[in-house]
Amino acid sequence: MARPLVGVLALQGDVREHAHAVRASGAEFVAVRRESELSDVDGLVIPGGESTTISRLLDTFELLEPVRKRIADGLPVYGSCAGMILLATTVLGGRPDQHQLGGLDITVRRNAFGRQVDSFEEDLELTGVAGGPVRAVFIRAPWVESASSEVEVLGTVPDVPGAGPAAGRIVAVRQGATLATAFHPELTGDIRVHRLFVDMVRAAA
């Protein structure tokens, strides 16, 4: 598949930045707001934003069950920040009525790194991403508290001065056709994480 069609869930969040990264990684892009658009895609990106808002809008746009079904059927999906929260099976610190999409057998802690003022950047080594460290931007980010044996840990926060309680925390994972990061690679201009995902989409096709 030369240029797979990758959708970005376009209900809320940094859709434009993901669209640019998807195109730069060798895929076609479509904004997904309807089930008809979802049905056409070879892969789906769930962007950063506000996980409870995206959860509510999935209901409003009648996309919750269609997205869940496509993920369960093996659709490759990548979630960044809020996307990671929505793909997790268990969320700590979320709203009790928040919907989960499934795909990752992990427990995440919402807003684990603190408030907006606690946002930071760090260089991370990621399994499966060649070319040196990835500059990771964390904005009110989650981290993974625990992961089952089915989940491959791709990256953790290095134990460096200033890391504090974040040191060693899991921030990038993969389970089958599902990829997630607690950070925002779409904000740095480094497309290697998106290229990894597009390669996953091609492999699944």
Domain coordinates in residue numbering, the chain: 5-204
pLDDT digits (tens, 9 = 90+) for 52-103: 899 999 999 999 999 999 999 999 999 999 999 999 999 997 777 788 999 9
Catalytic residue among 17, 18, 99, 186: 186
Q: What is the pLDDT of residue 52?
A: 87
pLDDT tens for each residue of the chain, 205 residues long: 689 999 999 999 889 999 999 999 999 999 999 999 999 999 999 998 888 899 999 999 999 999 999 999 999 999 999 999 999 999 997 777 788 999 999 999 987 766 544 467 888 999 999 999 999 888 888 889 999 999 999 999 887 665 567 778 899 999 999 999 999 999 998 999 999 999 999 999 8
Catalytic residue, chosen from 18, 81, 122, 194, is: 81
Q: Which of 18, 99, 122, 184 is catalytic?
A: 184
pLDDT given for residue 199 in this prediction: 96
Say whether 184 is catalytic.
yes
CATH fold of 5-204 = Rossmann fold (3.40.50)
Predicted pLDDT at 117: 40
DSSP string spanning the chain? --S-EEEEE-SSS-HHHHHHHHHHTT-EEEEE-SHHHHHH-SEEEE-SS-HHHHHHHHHHTT-HHHHHHHHHTT--EEEETHHHHHHEEEEESS-TT------EEEEEETTTT-SGGG-EEEEE--TT--SS-EEEEESS--EEEEE-TTSEEEEE----TT-GGGTT-EEEEEETTEEEESS-GGGTS--HHHHHHHHHHHHH-
Catalytic-residue membership of 81: yes
Indicate the pTM of the whole model.
0.93
Task: Please indicate whether residue 18 is annotated as part of the active site.
Answer: no
